[in-house]
Amino acid sequence: MARHAGVSTTAVSKVLRNAYGASPQMQTKVRAAIEELGYRPSAAARGLRGQTYTIGVMLPEIRNPFFADVLDGVTEHLNGTDYQLLMAQCCNDVAGEARLTDAMIDRSMDGLILIAPISSRRHLQAVARTVPTVVVGRHGHSADYDTVTDDDFAGAGLVVAHLAELGHRHIAHIEHLEKDPVRLVEMPNAQRADGYRHAMNAHGLADGINVVSTTYTQEGGYLGARQLLSRDVRPTAIFAGADIVAMGVFDALSEAGLSAPADISLAGYDNTTFAAFGPISLTTVDQAGHQMGGNAARLLLDRIADRARPTAQVKLSPTLVARRTTAPPSSQGRS
Amino acid sequence: MARHAGVSTTAVSKVLRNAYGASPQMQTKVRAAIEELGYRPSAAARGLRGQTYTIGVMLPEIRNPFFADVLDGVTEHLNGTDYQLLMAQCCNDVAGEARLTDAMIDRSMDGLILIAPISSRRHLQAVARTVPTVVVGRHGHSADYDTVTDDDFAGAGLVVAHLAELGHRHIAHIEHLEKDPVRLVEMPNAQRADGYRHAMNAHGLADGINVVSTTYTQEGGYLGARQLLSRDVRPTAIFAGADIVAMGVFDALSEAGLSAPADISLAGYDNTTFAAFGPISLTTVDQAGHQMGGNAARLLLDRIADRARPTAQVKLSPTLVARRTTAPPSSQGRS
DNA sequence: ATGAAAGCGCTAACAA
DNA sequence: TTGTTAGCGCTTTCAT
C-alpha cells in the first residue's frame, strides 16, 4: 500500500491520523492511493499501539425502551467522530458483567459506557482504572469514573405529589427487592423507593405507605399487584417503580376485573414507548434517556482526552408525564 | 508473564489455545501463573494473527422486540463458546450499513450476522467474501452467505385464511412501500404483501384486495389506517404488515372512535411482547425469532469452521397467534 | 515436547 | 518534511 503510493508507511500513518508533518502533496498522493486500493486501516492492529476508536456500551436489557433512548443519545453524540459504538447485552448477574467488561478490555476498547451495572463498586473501580469509563444510571461518587444519573429520588416524589394532589391517601409502591447494602444506596430502584417514602411522609401520608418488594419485570409487577389487591386495605393508587412493572400491574388488574384509573390509579416510571402508546396512556416519569446518553458520551470523550481530569457527576431532573391512568380516587376505592 | 512461569511465550500460547504439544506439567505450571497474575490474553493482538473470537451483529432497530428475540437466540447458542457477541445498531440507510460492516471488518471480527439489511446484494456479497456472514430476515440465495428467514409469504397467507374463515371478505393490508427491484423480491415486507395478494385470490376474495403503502413504523400504521378509514368502502379487517404498524392502526382507530374487533378486526405480524400484552391482545404471526437467531449462530460457527462449505438457506415456518383483536365482521361494518 | 525467531499492520521515537 | 527502526502481544513455522 505504501509502496503503491511511493511513500513510506510512516507517511501513510501520518496522513491517516492527520498527524503533524505531512505536506499537502504527500496528503493528496496518499489519499489517492487509499482511494485506488480501497484501503482500510485495521483497527485491530492500530489498537496494539494507539487507539481502536471503539467504544463499548454494556446494557442490561435490550427490551427496555429506556435503554434504547440512552443509546440514541450516545449514538447521536458520537456521530461525526471517528468512534464506533459496539454494544453488548448483559446477563443480569455479576459474573456475567465481569466477563463482559473483561471482554471489552481484552478487545482494547478506548472507553466503556456501563448502563445500570449491578457489579460491585470495587469491580467498577477496577474497570475504570483500566479504561476510561462512564457509569450511567447508578448513583454514588467515584474518583475513577464519571456518572450520569437521573434524580430518581425526586422522580418518585413527583409521582407521589401528583397522586396526593388528585386526592389519593393510600398510595402503594412496587419496588425491586434489593438487599446488597451498597446497591441499596446506589441503585435507581432503591432511590425511587426512598423517594416514595420520603414524599409520602412529606405529604402527611405516612399511614398510606405500603411497599411490596418484587422485581422490575412484568412478572414482578403482576405478582406485586396481586399481593396488593388481596390485602384487607386496598390502595387507591399504585406507583410501579418502572413502566415494565406497570405492565404486570395491568395484567393483574384485568384479571381481577378492575381497570385504571376507574378502580385504581396507576403510575409507572421511565416513559417508555409502551407508556406513551394511546390505548395504554400510562402516567409515568420521563428520565430524559436521550440526554443521559449524550452526557455519557461527552464525558467519556473528555476522559479519553484527559484521563487525569477529576470525575464529574451529572444528575438530570426527571419530569412527570401525566396521562390517563391516574385520576381522583373513586369512592368505592376507599376502604 | 511467560518469564514468571519460567517457560517460553510459545508454551503459554499453546496452553491458552489447547494446542498440540503441551505436557500436563507444562499446562499446570502455566495455568498457575495465569491465575496468579490475573493474566488475560489481548484479543486485539490475537486478532493480528489468529481469531478475535468476536462476532458482530448488525441490527436495524433496537426497539423492535422481534430483533431482541433473534438476539436472544444468537446469544444462547453462543453461550459456552469462546465467542463474544458485539452488536451495533444501524441507521436505516445504505451508506450507514456499509460504514458499519466496514467498521466490523476493520476490527477483524470472526463473523457477522446481519439482521434485515437493506444494503444492495452486491455489497452483502462483498462483505461475505471478506468475512463469514449470515444474513437474517432477507430472502434470496447467495453462494457467499447463508440465510435464515421466516416464510413471510406463508405467514401472510395464515392471516388472510384466519380472517376469511371468520367471514371477512374485505381485508385491507398496510405494506411497507418498496421500490427497489431487488429488495422487492428479497425483503420480508414485500413477501408479506405478495403472500397477502396470493391468499386473497386463493380464497376468492380478489375484490376485497386493498393495499395501502406506507412504512413499517407506528406513524406508517397511523397514516395507512387513516387512509383506509376515509375510503368509501371501509374494510372489515386490516392486516398490518408488522406489529409496530398495528400500533399505529390502534391510534387511528381510537381517534376515529372505533375499536378492534368490535368495529374492525386487526392483525399484525411478529408476535412482539406488545402484541402479547394483555390489554392489547393482538392477533399476529409468530416468527420464532429465537429459533432464527439460534440457526444464524449455528450457521455462522459452521462457516467459520469451514469457509468452503456450500451455503445454506434456512426457512422457518411462522404460526398464527389468534388473540382478541380479530372476530367475525360486525353487520354495520359491511358496506 | 519445547523454545527461538519471524511477522501480523500499525504507531512512535528518532535520524536524516 | 520524510523515512528508518523498533516495538505493541500474540500465533506460527521451524529448529532443537
Residue B46 forms part of a structural domain: no
Confidence band, pLDDT 50/70/90 cuts, at residue B332:
low
Give residue A151's pLDDT. Answer: 97
Q: Are residues A175 and A297 in the same domain?
A: no
Q: State the cell numbers at B98.
A: 456499509
Mean pLDDT of A177-195: 90
Whether the predicted pLDDT of B335 surpasses 60: no
Whether the predicted pLDDT of B333 surpasses 60: no
Whether the predicted pLDDT of A285 surpasses 60: yes
Whether the predicted pLDDT of A30 surpasses 60: yes
* Inter-chain touch B87–A85, beta carbons under 8 Å: no
Phi and psi at residue B69, in whole multiples of 5°? -60, -45
Omega of the bond leading into A261 within 30 degrees of 0 (cis): yes
Q: Are residues B56 and B116 in the same domain?
A: yes
CA gap B224, B226 in Å, rounded: 5
Q: What percent of chain A has pLDDT above 70?
A: 99
Residue B122 forms part of a structural domain: yes
Q: Are residues B139 and B167 in the same domain?
A: no
* Inter-chain touch B86–A85, beta carbons under 8 Å: no
Confidence band, pLDDT 50/70/90 cuts, at residue A333:
very low
Count of the separate structural domains present in chain A: 3
Helix (H) or strand (E) holding B24: helix B24-37
pLDDT in tens, A7-26: 888 888 888 888 888 888 88
Confidence band, pLDDT 50/70/90 cuts, at residue A178:
confident
Residue B212 forms part of a structural domain: yes
pTM value is: 0.92
Q: Is the Cβ of A279 closer than 8 Å to some Cβ of chain B?
A: yes
Residue B292 forms part of a structural domain: yes
pLDDT in tens, A111-148: 999 999 999 999 999 999 999 999 999 999 999 999 99
CA gap A24, A151 in Å, rounded: 51
Give residue B251's pLDDT. Answer: 92
Q: What are the C-alpha distances in Å from A41 to residues A210, B125, B229?
A: 59, 21, 54
Q: Are residues A259 and A307 in the same domain?
A: no
Confidence band, pLDDT 50/70/90 cuts, at residue A332:
low
Close Cβ partners of A328 (under 8 Å, ≥ 6 residues apart): A166, A167, A168
Whether the predicted pLDDT of A82 surpasses 60: yes
Give residue B279's pLDDT. Answer: 85
Whether the predicted pLDDT of A284 surpasses 50: yes
What DSSP assignment string belongs to A178-212? ---HHHHHHSHHHHHHHHHHHHHHHTT-GGG-EEE
CB B132 within 8 A of CB B299: no
Give residue A55's pLDDT. Answer: 97
Omega of the bond leading into A117 within 30 degrees of 0 (cis): no
CA gap B63, B59 in Å, rounded: 10
User: Sign of dihedral through CA atoms B19, B25, B31, B37?
Assistant: negative
Q: Are residues A240 and A111 in the same domain?
A: no
Q: Are residues A83 and A141 in the same domain?
A: yes
Give residue B331's pLDDT. Answer: 66
**Nearest-5° Cα angle at A122, A116 to A123:** 60
Q: Supply the mean pLDDT for chain A.
A: 93
Q: Which residues on chain A are in Cβ contact (under 8 Å) with B279?
A: 250, 254, 279-280
Residue A257 CA, distance from chain mean position: 34
Query: Angle of helix B289-305 relative to helix B65-78, nearest 10 degrees?
Result: 40
Q: Are residues B302 and B324 in the same domain?
A: no
Mean pLDDT of B266-271: 96
What DSSP assignment string belongs to B267-334? E-SB--HHHHSTTT--BEEE--HHHHHHHHHHHHHHHHH-TTSPP-EEEEPPEEE--TT--SPPGGG-
Close Cβ partners of B180 (under 8 Å, ≥ 6 residues apart): none
**Lowest-confidence pick of A110-119, A221-230, B4-13, B141-150:** B4-13
Q: Are residues B185 and B83 in the same domain?
A: no
HSE at residue B187, side-chain half, CA atoms within 13 A, is 20
Q: Are residues A95 and A192 in the same domain?
A: no
* Residues forming a β-bridge with A238: A172, A266
Shortest distance, CA B298 to any CA of chain A (angstroms):
19
CB B67 within 8 A of CB B115: yes
List the single best residue of A16, A46, A84 to mutate versus B (max B Cβ within 10 A): A84
Residue B143 forms part of a structural domain: yes
Confidence band, pLDDT 50/70/90 cuts, at residue B179:
confident
Mean pLDDT of A273-283: 89
Q: Is the Cβ of A39 closer than 8 Å to some Cβ of chain B?
A: no
Whether the predicted pLDDT of A335 surpasses 70: no
Q: Is the Cβ of B35 closer than 8 Å to some Cβ of chain A?
A: no
Residue A128 forms part of a structural domain: yes
Q: State the cell numbers at B60.
A: 436495524
Phi and psi at residue A319, in whole multiples of 5°? -130, 150
Q: Is the Cβ of A19 closer than 8 Å to some Cβ of chain B?
A: no
What is the side-by-side strand order in the sheet with B84-89?
Answer: A313-316, A146-150, A133-136, A111-115, A54-59, A84-89, B84-89, B54-59, B111-115, B133-136, B146-150, B313-316
- Which residue approaches D1 most closely, CA to C1'? A21
Q: Supply the mean pLDDT for chain B.
A: 93
Whether the predicted pLDDT of A40 surpasses 60: yes
Range of the domain at B263: 152-287+320-333
B247 closest CA partner among B93, B67, B115, B63: B63
Q: Is the Cβ of A106 closer than 8 Å to some Cβ of chain B?
A: yes
Mean pLDDT of A35-40: 88
* Residues forming a β-bridge with B133: B112
Residue A218 forms part of a structural domain: yes
CB A109 within 8 A of CB B52: no
Mean pLDDT of A98-112: 96
Close Cβ partners of B82 (under 8 Å, ≥ 6 residues apart): B53
Higher-confidence position of B160 and B4: B160
CA gap B59, A210 in Å, rounded: 42
b/e code B221-251 from CB counts within 10 Å (16+ = b): bbbbbbebbeeeebbbbbbbbbbbbbbbbbb
Q: State the cell numbers at B115.
A: 439482521
Confidence band, pLDDT 50/70/90 cuts, at residue B6:
confident
Mean pLDDT of B65-89: 94
* Inter-chain touch A87–B84, beta carbons under 8 Å: no
Give residue A92's pLDDT. Answer: 80
Q: Are residues B81 and B37 in the same domain?
A: no
Q: Report, in ranges, which bases of strand D sit under 7 Å from a protein C-beta.
A: 1-5, 7-13
Q: Are residues A81 and A199 in the same domain?
A: no
Give residue A334's pLDDT. Answer: 40
Whether the predicted pLDDT of A97 surpasses 90: yes
Q: CATH number of the domain at B252, please.
A: 3.40.50.2300
Phi and psi at residue A32, in whole multiples of 5°? -65, -45
Whether the predicted pLDDT of B154 surpasses 80: yes
Q: Are residues A275 and A296 in the same domain?
A: no
